[in-house]
């Protein structure tokens, strides 16, 4: 299920001597595998995360491998099966991983955005020349969601529409899953859909602006007609059953990266994140409840 484009960062890391007093976990785990849900194309993920993987390899004294999956479910399954030790999830994907792994996943950090806040938003885009001013104006049109396990691209939108009395399957002409946030914007601009949900942090930081920065789209080609309440920040997580010393070292390496590996760390957010904020499972209870709500919707008879 993994894309062929993956990178073994810091290939020479196996030649690095482990730090003095290194824990025994390095003998058992000579490689740490990190994965991330596909919010953009694989090349973009690799370009942004490679320097951080190299930094972590040096700090931990073992090879750190980045794997890019084709979909959210692949990362969840990889964490369950032990193929992945560290993963960056969206909130809903984390809640699903917690369920699927029977609690064998542990959140420990989320990035603070460019405003220094913890969390982000789901927004609904339409093309700039579309006359729609609200979601009610989209009846009979085609809507792009992202992935069934996407918080801002599926679960939060479905919850919001339910509160507005909108049944998406009946209200829209077609519901399409794009697979990634980038694909949703692309599908909107190509006319495959008439509106698309996406993640948005601040006026300076969004998937749209990330695409615009590399010339993939023009930032003024779409506009927002709907914005959610604040969503808990996307967590970086560990497999809970890993050795305690290993988890402690990995957590420390990540939490210290904004200072000790600053250039590499800033690259993952295009220079917009301001630091890490420590999180725990209880911080995502609202998302666990949201997932249960969405699951109940899926079980409703059509």
Confidence of residue 236 (pLDDT cuts 50, 70, 90): very high
Indicate whether 20 and 66 sit together in one domain.
yes
Indicate whether 196 and 149 sit together in one domain.
yes
198 occurs within a structural domain: yes
Residue 169: closest CA among 133, 124, 139: 139
Indicate whether 125 and 196 sit together in one domain.
yes
Indicate whether 34 and 125 sit together in one domain.
no
Share of the chain above pLDDT 70, in %: 90
Indicate whether 31 and 110 sit together in one domain.
yes
Q: Which of 34-43, 219-228, 240-249 has the lowest mean pLDDT?
A: 34-43
Q: Distance between CA atoms of 156 and 81, rounded to whole angstroms?
A: 28
Q: What's phi and psi for 277, nearest 5 deg? A: -120, 125
pLDDT higher than 90, residue 199: yes
Q: Could you say which of 180, 199, 231 is where a domain stops?
A: 231
pLDDT higher than 80, residue 238: yes
Instruction: Read off the CATH number of the domain in which 130 is found.
Output: 3.40.190.10
> To the nearest 10°, the Cα dihedral for 36, 110, 121, 42?
-20
Q: Which of 143-157, 183-197, 287-301 has the lowest mean pLDDT?
A: 287-301
Q: What are the residues facing 226 on neighbouring strands?
A: 124
Reported as a single tens digit per residue, the pLDDT across 221-230 is 999 999 999 9
Reported as a single tens digit per residue, the pLDDT across 133-149 is 999 999 999 999 999 99
Indicate whether 127 and 227 sit together in one domain.
yes
Question: CB within 8 A of 63, min separation 6: which ones?
Answer: 8, 9, 10, 11, 13, 14, 30, 31, 32, 57
Question: What is the pLDDT at residue 273?
Answer: 87
Total number of domains constituting the chain? 2
pLDDT higher than 60, residue 20: no
pTM, two decimal places: 0.80
Indicate whether 210 and 254 sit together in one domain.
no
Q: Could you say which of 196, 215, 231 is where a domain stops?
A: 231
């Amino acid at each position: 299920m993994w894309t062929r484009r993956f990178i073994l960062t810091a290939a020479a890391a196996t030649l690095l001597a482990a730090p003095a007093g290194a824990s025994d976990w390095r003998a058992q785990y000579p490689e740490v595998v990190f994965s991330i849900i596909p919010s953009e194309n694989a090349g973009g993920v690799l370009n942004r995360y490679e320097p951080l993987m190299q930094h972590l390899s040096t700090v931990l004294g073992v090879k750190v491998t980045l794997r890019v999956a084709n979909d959210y479910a692949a990362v969840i399954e990889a964490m369950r099966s032990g193929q992945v030790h560290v993963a960056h999830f969206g909130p809903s994907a984390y809640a699903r991983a917690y369920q699927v792994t029977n609690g064998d996943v542990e959140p420990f950090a989320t990035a603070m955005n460019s405003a220094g806040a913890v969390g982000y938003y789901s927004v609904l885009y339409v093309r700039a020349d579309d006359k729609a001013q609200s979601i009610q104006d989209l009846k009979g049109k085609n809507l792009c969601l992202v992935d069934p396990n996407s918080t801002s691209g599926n679960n939060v939108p479905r919850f919001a529409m339910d509160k507005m009395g909108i049944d998406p399957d009946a209200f829209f002409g077609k519901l399409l899953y794009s697979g990634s946030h980038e694909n949703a914007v692309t599908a909107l601009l190509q006319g495959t859909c008439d509106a698309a949900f996406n993640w948005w942090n601040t006026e300076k930081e969004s998937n749209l602006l990330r695409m615009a920065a590399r010339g993939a789209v023009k930032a003024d080609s779409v506009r927002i007609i709907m914005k959610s309440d604040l969503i808990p920040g996307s967590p970086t997580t560990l497999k809970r059953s890993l050795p305690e010393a290993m988890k402690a070292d990995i957590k420390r390496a990540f939490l210290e990266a904004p200072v000790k590996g600053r250039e590499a760390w800033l690259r993952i957010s295009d220079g917009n994140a301001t630091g890490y904020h420590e999180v725990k499972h209880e911080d995502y209870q609202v998302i666990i409840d949201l997932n249960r709500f969405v699951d109940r919707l899926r079980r409703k008879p059509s």
